[in-house]
A and B are shown apart, each in its own frame.
Chain A
Amino acid sequence: MLRHTFRAMGTDIECLLERPRDEIAERGLAEAEAEFARLEATLSRFLPGSELSQLNAAGHATVGPDLLELTEAAVEARSTTGGRFDPTVHDALVEAGYDRSFELIASRASVPTADPVLPPHPRPSSCGGGVHVDRSRSRITLDPGTRLDLGGIAKGHAADRVSDLLGAAGPCLVSAGGDIAVRGRPKAGVWAIAVSTGGGEITIGLPHGGLATSGRDRRCWQRAGAEYHHIIDPATGLPAATDLLRVTVVATSARTAETVATSLLLAGGLDAGVREANARGTPCVLVARDGRTRLAGGLR
Chain B
Amino acid sequence: MTNHVARLYALATSLVVFVAVWLAVSAHPWAQSSAALPANTPQMARLAAREHHLRAETRRVNLIVERRFAAYRRALARRNHANAAARARHNRQLASARTAAAVAQRTVVAQSPVAAPPAVRVVTLPPVASTRTS
Seen from chain A, the residues whose Cβ lies within 8 Å of a Cβ on chain B are 1, 11, 14, 16, 135-136, 152, 155-156, 173, 175-180, 186, 188, 190-196, 201-209, 211-219, 246, 248, 250-252, 258, 281-283, 295, 297-300
- Binding site of B, secondary structure by majority: helix, strand, loop or mixed? loop
Once the chains bind, are A188 and B130 in contact (CB under 8 Å)? no
**B124 contacts A by Cβ under 8 Å:** yes
Chain A residues lying within 8 Å of B29, measured Cβ to Cβ, are none
A residues less than 8 Å from B126 (CB atoms): 192, 203
Q: Which residues of A contact B91 (CB under 8 A)?
A: 136
- Of B41-49, B57-65, B113-121, the one touching chain A: B113-121
Other contacts beyond A192-B127, A203-B123, A214-B133: 5, CB < 8 A: A192-B125, A192-B126, A204-B120, A204-B123, A252-B117
Listed by A's residue number, 18 A-B pairs whose Cβ atoms lie within 8 Å are A135-B98, A176-B134, A178-B132, A178-B133, A192-B125, A193-B128, A194-B131, A195-B130, A196-B132, A204-B123, A206-B118, A214-B134, A217-B133, A250-B118, A252-B115, A252-B118, A299-B121, A299-B122
Determine the distance from Cα of A260 to Cα of B132 in the docked complex, in whole angstroms: 15
Which residue of A has the minimal Cβ distance to B115? A252
- With a cutoff of 8 Å between Cβ atoms, the chain B residues found around residue A11 in the complex are 134
**B residues engaging A (CB < 8 A)?**
91, 94-95, 98, 114-134
- Using a Cβ cutoff of 8 Å, how many contacts connect chains A and B? 125
A136 to B128, CA, bound (A): 42
Q: How far is the CB of A6 from chain B (nearest CB, A)?
A: 15
User: For residue B130, which residues in chain A have a CB less than 8 angstroms away from its CB?
Assistant: 178, 193-196, 201
Q: Which residues of B contact A298 (CB under 8 A)?
A: 119
Contacts of A152 on B, CB cut-off 8 Å? 134
Decide: A191 near B129, CB < 8 A? Known: A207-B118, A207-B120: yes
Give the distance in Å from the alpha carbon of A210 to the alpha carbon of B128 in the complex. 15
Checking B115, B122, B134 against A203 with a beta-carbon cut-off of 8 angstroms, the contacting residue is B122
